[in-house]
Amino acid sequence: MKILVFGKTGQVAQELAACADAALTLEFLDRNAADLTDPAACAALIDATDADAIINAAAYTAVDRAEEDEAPAAMARAAATRSLPFVHISTDYVFDGMGETAFTPDNPTGPLGAYGRTKLAGEEGVHAAGGPHAIFRTSWVVSAHGNNFVKTMLRLGAERDRFTIVADQVRGPTPTADIARTCIAAAQQLCSDPSKFGTYHISGTPDVSWADFAHAIFDLSGITCKVADIPSSDFPTPAARPANSRMDNTTMQATFGLPRPDWRAGLEDILRTLGALKA
């Protein structure tokens, strides 16, 4: 099987590369090959591919956000024309973060800011294309690659004796290795059973706050830096962040036969790769 992957240097794309084997060929398109601000050019790459499925793992920057709702839709339409499975990664930011119950894929959306709105528009474009597709909403992506919360905590923990961190935003940290495996499984299964199309959630278990996750990182790495819990109101940010990003993974598990990722095992792997796991 051959999969065309939009994205090459992002966290998920780098984990996808590790999944290639004799039975699976992955072709990666970086920004030089696939200009995400040019939806028509991205669609043309799908028109010309000999791949069996498409994964959109491109990592968008702030500059790209105005275009983010257009490129996925154009790519999905091109894939649908050829009946190619299209796997797309979205975010928990499509929800308003109210309450304490885990959001299911069919719960009403209500993004709090521009990022969530553009990601939701991207989802809608992929769904409207009408082809075999899987949209995976995920949260708090972490890995040994790129910039993410784990690497930030390791840096701050080594530099400081104490710092504060938000303790009232809750979500499931999600290792990119698990996201990559899920995307590949979905692409493979959609090839043989297009009826599995839809929107799904993949997030790590158990759900924790930023502060709880920081404590876990320090415990596993042996860092003695102290963390003081604070409410979000003490740490204002330009963009509003949902307080509750708990997500129900049931339909993902039932449809694709995959477990909900345990971020504790994933975190150990990440720290081991970074050489930060205590003996």
Residue 221 resides in a domain: no
Q: 94 in a domain, yes or no?
A: yes
* CATH number of the domain residue 65 falls in: 3.40.50.720
Which pLDDT value is given to residue 64? 39
Q: Is residue 98 part of a domain?
A: yes
Per-residue pLDDT of the chain (279 residues; tens, 9 = 90+): 999 999 998 999 999 999 989 899 999 999 899 988 899 999 999 999 999 999 999 865 443 344 456 899 999 999 999 999 999 999 999 999 999 999 999 999 999 998 899 999 999 999 999 999 999 999 999 999 988 999 999 999 999 999 899 888 999 999 999 999 999 999 999 999 999 999 999 999 999 999 999 999 999 999 999 888 888 887 667 777 889 999 999 999 999 999 999 999 999 999 999 999 998
Does residue 34 fall inside a structural domain? Answer: yes
The sign of the dihedral angle between the CA atoms of 162, 163, 167, 170 is: negative
* Token pair recorded at residue 144: 């040994």
pLDDT tens across 179-228, in order?
Answer: 999 999 999 999 999 999 999 999 999 999 999 999 999 999 999 998 88
Structure tokens at 60: 């968008």
Q: Which two tokens stand for residue 180?
A: 């990559």
Range(s) of the domain holding residue 113: 2-147+173-206+245-262
Q: Are 5 and 42 in contact (CB under 8 A)?
A: no
Does 195 reside within a domain? yes
Sequence-distant (6+) residues with CB within 8 A of 79 are 46, 54, 85, 86, 129, 131, 133
The b/e string for 97-119 (b: 16+ C-beta within 10 A; e otherwise) is beeeebbebebebebbeebbbbb
- How many domains does one find in the chain? 1
Tell me if 139 sits within 8 A of 91, measured CB to CB.
Answer: yes
Closest CA to 34 of 1, 9, 12: 9
Residue where the block lists tokens 């330009």 = 238
Residues 9, 28: Cα–Cα separation, whole Å = 9
So what's the pLDDT on residue 1? 95
Q: Look at residue 82 and give its three-state secondary structure.
A: coil
pLDDT computed for residue 86 by the predictor:
98
Write the pLDDT tens digit of every residue in 247-274. Answer: 999 999 999 999 999 999 999 999 999 9
Annotated active-site residue 115? The verdict is yes
Catalytic residue selected from 60, 93, 115, 200? 115
Query: Domain for residue 201, yes or no?
Result: yes
CB contact at 8 A, 247 and 253: no
Report if residue 63 sits inside a domain. Answer: yes
Does residue 199 sit within a domain? yes
SS3 content of the chain, % helix, strand, coil (to 5): 40, 20, 40
